[in-house]
Amino acid sequence: MTAMIEAQGLSRSFGSVHAVRDVTFAVEEGGVTGLLGRNGAGKTTLMNLVSGQDFASAGTVRVAGEDPVENARVLTRLCFIKESQSYPDAYRGRHVLAIAARFFPHFDAHLATRLVDDFDVPVNRMMKKMSRGQRSAVGAIVGIASGAELTMLDEPYAGLDAVARHVFYDRLLADYARRPRTIVLSTHLIDEAADLLDHVLVIHQGRLEIDAAAEDLRGTAVRLVGRASDVDAFVDGREVLGRESIAGIHSVTVAGVDAQGRERAAAAGLEVAPVSLQQLIVHRTGAPVHEEVA
Amino acid sequence: MTTLAAQIPARQRIAAVMRLHVANPWPTVILPWIVLLGVHALTWSIWALISHYAGDTLEPEAFRYAGGVSWLVIYMMVIAIQAMNAGFRFALGLSATRRDYYVGTVAVFGLMALGYGIGLGLLALVERATGGWWLDGSFYAPAYLYDEPFAVVAFHYVALYLLFTSMGSLIGAMFVRWRAYGLYAYFAGLALAVVAFVWWLVGAGGDALVGFLRDNPLAVVMAWTLPVSAVLALLGWLVIRRAPSRG
């Protein structure tokens, strides 16, 4: 496997704000990568840099081995759908789809037409008159139908209801199975998307916090509940992600616990529960480590 | 890694940008003509009223100085500003390069300049053939255009159109690159240029300018706007080639 995206010490700052700081990672060709993080963590800035829409302050980014900035060789293979995409004033939904077909060499117009029905998008409505969800759906349709070798979707379902989101996951996976490619999906609905993801990048305050296979992440963190002394004895020396205590009973989220470790914890009289990807990321990117509950 | 080739050839990419601007032809191609004909109809009815009441006392050149076409160039400047703003960000959102975007956009403006220039020139011909719309009025070739041949009238509009769209492109590009600060800079620069121009005019320049306008035919005067337009368009490119699309 070769790398579709390679970032090396990539940084972008706006005045004193460091939106992306010294980020290094690689996204392999094929597979679905989740780019996760809180609002303002730097997800969109990072994707802007990868798609050559913004310029790095420091470091480098390569797509398919080349600098994406002003590079038609890279850009004709890439589709980046952003949440805040602006459209020309006079555009209706159908204009967006008609023009997108001219910019993406693998655009599947039949699929786009079917997706319009699936998402129930009023394509004859002016883009500026559409609701947030409808605009998101137009973006999602372009992204899925583009068939681009690197398809990046930034919060593709902002404003979409649960049914439309389900349609999105379903159609994205169906097209992915038909036309395998590299997909990068940014979202903060982590649990919903978790099953979709092969790889996870978590960005927090501009820095890369986690870069791991989704499978590894799911297995490693557990929640241990038990008497304070038992819990403390077990977690001593381990990476504690979160801690709650209620009247002498401790509940601790710990990273890096393998199957053997879980058996030992159970043997020590602790209750062992799995931690979802979302809980894990919440713990790693924001929740205070110690939380006292009266 | 093997060397990549672009999956869409350059000419096709530029054509796609051109189509992007006229995907909905309403604001750029259709609406201006409708408004223009509306203004024309309004002007004509005022002429008709005046000549009805003035009768024989009407001066022979009374309807020689209509300015009904001039809004068109301002409108086109606004179109150019919008194209550089929303059009630019949309095109980059579809993975266009800035270079392809700018070349395609300038090509669209060039074609539209020709379309509007020739169209207005033809209407000026009709105006003459009908004796000024039967009222000796000059709407499409007023004032200094009155005696000029078709080619000069059309060229005059082409050059004027290019001048205003290249100005609009530069304003739009500066906005995309530097947001409000870009506009402040643009209008500060414009104000300085106007002051410098007036300064020159009241000093040595006044006679020189009058002499230049008097001694040179209109076609030559208008031809001098072409290098100005080219410089503005070039400045627009220098600004937009490093403009981010973050919004």
Q: What is the ipTM of this complex?
A: 0.87
Amino acid A136: pLDDT? 94
Amino acid B3: pLDDT? 59
Which of B24, B89, B96 has its CB closest to that of A95? B24
Confidence of residue A188 (pLDDT cuts 50, 70, 90): confident
Give the CB-side neighbour count of residue A25, counting CA atoms within 13 A: 23
- Assess whether pLDDT exceeds 60 at residue A182: yes
Q: Is residue B200 part of a domain?
A: yes
Tokens of residue A33, six digits: 């990568």
Amino acid A288: pLDDT? 59
- pLDDT: is A231 or A286 the higher one? A231
- Substitution target in B95, B98, B102, B239 with the highest count of A β-carbons within 10 Å is B95
Q: How many residues are there in chain A? A: 294
> For the whole model, what pTM was predicted?
0.89
Confidence of residue A173 (pLDDT cuts 50, 70, 90): very high
Answer yes or no: do B10 and A148 touch at CB < 8 A.
Answer: no
Confidence of residue A289 (pLDDT cuts 50, 70, 90): low
- Cα separation, B159 vs B132, in Å, equals 24
- Assess whether pLDDT exceeds 80 at residue B146: no
Q: Which residues of A fall within a CB distance of 8 Å from B13?
A: 72, 76, 103
Answer yes or no: do B4 and A64 touch at CB < 8 A.
Answer: yes
Q: Is residue B247 part of a domain?
A: no
State mean pLDDT over A90-115: 95
- Assess whether pLDDT exceeds 60 at residue B134: yes
Answer yes or no: do B90 and A86 touch at CB < 8 A.
Answer: yes
Cβ count near A203 (within 10 Å): 26
Amino acid B102: pLDDT? 95
Amino acid A1: pLDDT? 53
As a whole number, the mean pLDDT across chain A is: 90
Q: Is residue B246 part of a domain?
A: no
Q: Is residue B141 part of a domain?
A: yes
pLDDT by residue (tens digit) across A223-278?
889 888 888 888 888 888 888 888 888 888 888 788 888 888 888 888 988 888 88
CA dihedral sign, ordered B20, A72, B105, B174: positive
Question: Looking at the 3D structure of chain B, how many domains does it have?
Answer: 1
Tokens of residue A67, six digits: 């600098």
Q: Is residue B38 part of a domain?
A: yes
Q: Is residue B32 part of a domain?
A: yes
Contact assessment for residue A45 and residue A19, using Cβ atoms and an 8 Å cutoff = yes
A101 to chain B, closest Cα gap in Å: 9
Q: Is residue B94 part of a domain?
A: yes
Amino acid at B99: R
- Assess whether pLDDT exceeds 90 at residue A220: no
Which domain, by its residues, includes B226? 3-240
Answer yes or no: do A64 and B89 touch at CB < 8 A.
Answer: no
- Substitution target in A74, A99, A107, A146 with the highest count of B β-carbons within 10 Å is A99
Amino acid B247: pLDDT? 61
Helix (H) or strand (E) segment spanning residue B227? helix B225-240
Which of A64, A79, A86 has its CB closest to that of B247? A86
Amino acid A256: pLDDT? 78
> What does the DSSP 8-state code read for residue B4?
P
For A96, phi and psi rounded to 5 degrees? -60, -45
Amino acid A39: pLDDT? 85
pLDDT by residue (tens digit) across B179-232?
888 889 989 999 999 999 889 888 877 888 888 888 888 888 888 899 999 999
Amino acid B158: pLDDT? 94
B155 to chain A, closest Cα gap in Å: 29
pLDDT by residue (tens digit) across B39-79?
888 988 888 788 778 777 767 777 767 777 788 888 889 99
Task: From residue B82, give the alpha-carbon distance in Å to each of A54, A135, B168.
Answer: 20, 20, 8
- Cα separation, A176 vs A178, in Å, equals 5
Q: Is residue B245 part of a domain?
A: no
- Cα separation, B138 vs B38, in Å, equals 15
Confidence of residue A290 (pLDDT cuts 50, 70, 90): low
State mean pLDDT over A190-205: 90
pLDDT by residue (tens digit) across A132-169?
999 999 999 999 999 999 999 999 888 899 999 999 99
Amino acid A292: pLDDT? 46
Answer yes or no: do B86 and A89 touch at CB < 8 A.
Answer: yes
- Cα separation, A149 vs A180, in Å, equals 8
Q: Given strand A58-63, what is the order of strands in its sheet?
A: A17-28, A3-14, A58-63
SS3 label, residue A254: strand
- Assess whether pLDDT exceeds 60 at residue B84: yes
State mean pLDDT over A81-110: 94
A95 to chain B, closest Cα gap in Å: 6
